Structure 1
């Protein structure tokens, strides 16, 4: 399958975000080595609309993020919706937070189009994809500004001049950070489908939604709320090619309820493992409810369920 350049598609979205920085309560600065830094919640206030636009940048210009009223939950009446006609490219090649970055005491996960310029994750070899572009944008889930030595390394790894690099900083505890993390509800389903060894080339289309939680004053609480939005409130619909029985099997294996850790708020699970993120069951990271439609027959299969009680404990 021929895939588009996610960096090229996202570039005009980045410029549009910068042009509206004042309205979106963003702060734009430049590092000493020339990289453009977009503060979306560290010193700047940021906001929900900024988070929505940043989420669309993360999707590599291939997805749409909407924020709409929803009657699904009695107390949490705002839903975030994600849709894309190319879910594998948008969600896994671009959006997935798969680039681990560290320098001294600084650590962040990088997501967005620049990952595909670096393309060192095994997923890119599997999909046969590596992007090429004159500029790069990377979104960092972080509470502090990156050191210049790391910025130089990111530019070099992406094959772009540092002054052609844009870094968007979105603390999870911020409004913008909350939105852009919950906007990964579809990506989480794609990532689990990959872990279940479902052929990614057979995932044709995708839609998803999740409740938008309130932000939190600290990272741990914010991480819990944004994860719970997907684990206990996320709803995903995938459209796949291939045999109907394999679509049914995918739907059965995808929901978060298949995990041994399911049933408690994410913060409670995190505490039970003494803050060891990697000790948690990786199969937990998936939507609450999943529908898979087999395009060959038109039949749909739904598994999983929402848990409003857990959302109330987490969000409140």
Structure 2
């Protein structure tokens, strides 16, 4: 894995701080010295901002692009994610494993600040942490953090507030929804990790998901962004090792492994009182997963997309 993740993300963000307007982003420097970049809370954001936000989530360890695809007969933008460093890009950085709760403030935190904090069991099991003097984090939230909240994040990330940059976007924004749609590979990687598969066997990964429409409210946005991956996400893993272990674990990886699969995520979410932790964890993965074994040459495919559900979720007439 080349270079420290926080250093890579810092360089990527530092390049846009002086010209945020081109991306529809607003920058606020707090009295504690930290900088908060609004990618889609109060700011409008943009597609370019969403691509950059997704790349920051991965510490610039992945390429994120938009291309034209379709949902049924309807022309539709597709988010594509490509990485030759899927463990570091997805599990050490992109995965939203930091639940930020301070009084009534809530955000889901991702990005390399997680590696500096190393508070999650994931880092201990995979044996990776960082100690870098600067840190970068991404917050999925409907509210920008104030200095009190940022100071707490900085303390846990083991940096001075002046050496912390936070990027924030709501799920219902252009940039916020795009960066979530870029997580098809990440959800597959985390599913494999939770199932006990040796994720270091995965050499490279490619994933796609339809770009979910911007929603008028947070609940609908949560539904659409999740449906994009659960029912429209396709990923390919380039993997080493034996084929038998893949054949055994493969059926458990796509979202159809869950008994909740086949229903719009908004409906599932509302049924459990909008508590993510009450949802079957087997649901959180892409619709289709393909394993290409680069040692044996064999290909194994599991799951399939559900375009009818996507059309319903996205409001496509």
**2:253 alignment counterpart:** 254
CA distance in 2 between counterparts of 1:72 and 1:222 reads: 18
**2:175 alignment counterpart:** 176
**2:200 alignment counterpart:** 201
Please report how far the alpha carbon of residue 162 of structure 1 lies from its aligned counterpart in structure 2 after TM superposition.
0.7
Is 1:49 matched up with 2:48? Answer: yes
**1:66 alignment counterpart:** 65
**2:283 alignment counterpart:** 284
Please report how far the alpha carbon of residue 3 of structure 1 lies from its aligned counterpart in structure 2 after TM superposition.
6.3
Listed one character per residue, the Cα deviations across residues 14-66 of structure 1 (whole Å, up to 9, x for unaligned) are 11232331110111111111110101112211111101101001101111100
Q: Secondary structure at the match of 1:23?
A: helix
CA shift in 2, pair 1:26/1:236, >3 Å: same
* Worse overlay, 62-71 or 268-277: 268-277
**1:243 alignment counterpart:** 242
Please report how far the alpha carbon of residue 238 of structure 1 lies from its aligned counterpart in structure 2 after TM superposition.
0.5
Contact kept? 2:71, 2:311, Cα under 8 Å: no
TM-score w.r.t. structure 2 length? 0.96
RMSD of aligned residue pairs (Cα, Å)? 1.3
CA distance in 2 between counterparts of 1:287 and 1:314 reads: 16
**1:225 alignment counterpart:** 224
Contact kept? 1:194, 1:200, Cα under 8 Å: yes
**2:155 alignment counterpart:** 156
Q: Which runs of 5+ in 1 are unaligned?
A: none
Q: Which runs of 5+ in 2 are unaligned?
A: none
**2:10 alignment counterpart:** 11
- Aligned pairs (5 A) from 1:57-206: 57-71=56-70, 73-75=72-74, 77-206=76-205
TM-score w.r.t. structure 1 length? 0.96
Q: How many residues align?
A: 315
Contact kept? 1:37, 1:167, Cα under 8 Å: yes
Please report how far the alpha carbon of residue 76 of structure 1 lies from its aligned counterpart in structure 2 after TM superposition.
5.1
